[in-house]
């Protein structure tokens, strides 16, 4: 599978081992398997690392020395362009596919965001519903609030302005 002259760091088992258990699982079982073992950030980081390794191989540019064979994609008579997928071994392409299957879908992300927003709103409502009791003993407003506020207002302004306020 690998040529004897493959440069170090570009081999087929640099990131994804051939005997990785997730590669042998069916697609419908891999989602819970990977979600139990990896966080979303770890999955994205591994996808990025596989892509970076493929880009390094592409920069090196010799399929035979890397043990790669051209992967015919699309119509064989039409050149469909170069892709980093061409620079991945089969088990790396499968691992990337499985990681992308295990990532949360847009619907799952929207539901998680909705739950987070609802919990923040509930927490905020819990804080705003707790209003200080202005009629408690020892408060500067003990007694009738309207009466005290009107006396505070008139005492704080000049006598000619007090007539306008009343």
Residue 47, domain member (yes or no): yes
Q: Is the pLDDT of residue 145 over 60?
A: no
Residue 36, domain member (yes or no): yes
Residue 26, domain member (yes or no): yes
Residue 91, domain member (yes or no): yes
Categorize the per-residue pLDDT at 43 as very low, low, confident or very high, splitting at 50, 70 and 90. very high
Residue 157, domain member (yes or no): no
Residue 28, domain member (yes or no): yes
Q: Which residues of 90-115 are buried (b: 16+ CB within 10 A; e: fewer)?
A: ebbbbbbebbeebbeeeeeeeeeeee
Residue 38, domain member (yes or no): yes
pTM above 0.75, yes or no: no
Short-list 60, 63, 54, 56, CA closest to 83: 54
The number of folded domains in the chain is 1
Residue 162, domain member (yes or no): no
Domain that holds residue 41: 21-106
Short-list 137, 147, 5, 106, CA closest to 63: 5
How many CB atoms sit inside 10 A of residue 16's CB?
22
Average pLDDT over residues 5-21: 78
pLDDT, one tens digit per residue, over 54-94 is 888 888 877 767 777 766 655 555 556 677 888 888 889 99
48/72: higher pLDDT = 48
Tell the residue number behind the tokens 């923040």, with chain if given. Answer: 120
pLDDT, one tens digit per residue, over 98-141 is 999 999 999 999 999 999 999 999 999 887 554 555 444 444 44
For residues 151, 157, 160 and 162, what is the CA-based torsion angle, rounded to 10 degrees?
Answer: -30
> What local confidence, expressed as pLDDT, does residue 75 receive?
58
């Amino acid at each position: 599978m690998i040529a004897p002259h493959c440069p170090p760091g570009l081999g087929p088992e640099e990131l994804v081992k051939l005997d990785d258990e997730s590669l042998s699982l069916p697609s419908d079982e891999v989602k819970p398997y990977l979600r139990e073992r990896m966080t979303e950030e770890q999955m994205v980081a591994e996808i990025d690392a596989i892509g970076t390794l493929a880009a390094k191989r592409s920069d090196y540019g010799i399929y035979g020395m890397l043990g790669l064979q051209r992967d015919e994609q699309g119509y064989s008579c039409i050149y469909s362009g170069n892709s980093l997928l061409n620079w991945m071994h089969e088990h790396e392409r499968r691992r990337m596919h499985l990681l992308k299957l295990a990532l949360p879908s847009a619907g799952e992300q929207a539901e998680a965001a909705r739950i987070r927003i609802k919990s923040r709103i509930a927490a905020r409502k819990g804080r705003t519903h707790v209003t200080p009791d202005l009629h408690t003993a020892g408060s500067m407003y003990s007694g009738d609030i309207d009466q005290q506020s009107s006396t505070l207002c008139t005492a704080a302004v000049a006598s000619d302005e007090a007539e306008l306020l009343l």
